[in-house]
Amino acid sequence: MSDWLANAIGLAGSALFIAAFAYTNITGRLNKLWFNLVNLAGAILLLISLSVNFNLAAFVLELAWGSIAAYGLLRALREWMTGTLP
């Protein structure tokens, strides 16, 4: 993968993080499915970009961020399937 493509993928992941953060501050009611899915996608994209331009601190951060988002997504899906998601 080229540096240009890795940077474009990383910027797309960053844009998803910014969108999710803005959404939490704008919305009156948080959609946990959307929020966690967007955060997980952003973390995955940034991890992909780090495969070319590796940075240990950023890798650890994205791994933690993605793990938390995956947990939140699974929890939100379980709530949605049981009808308890607000």
Q: Is the dihedral of CA 49, 66, 76, 26 positive or negative?
A: negative
* pLDDT for res 83: 82
pLDDT in tens, the chain (86 residues): 999 999 999 999 999 999 999 999 999 999 999 999 999 999 999 999 999 999 999 999 999 999 999 999 999 999 988 887 66
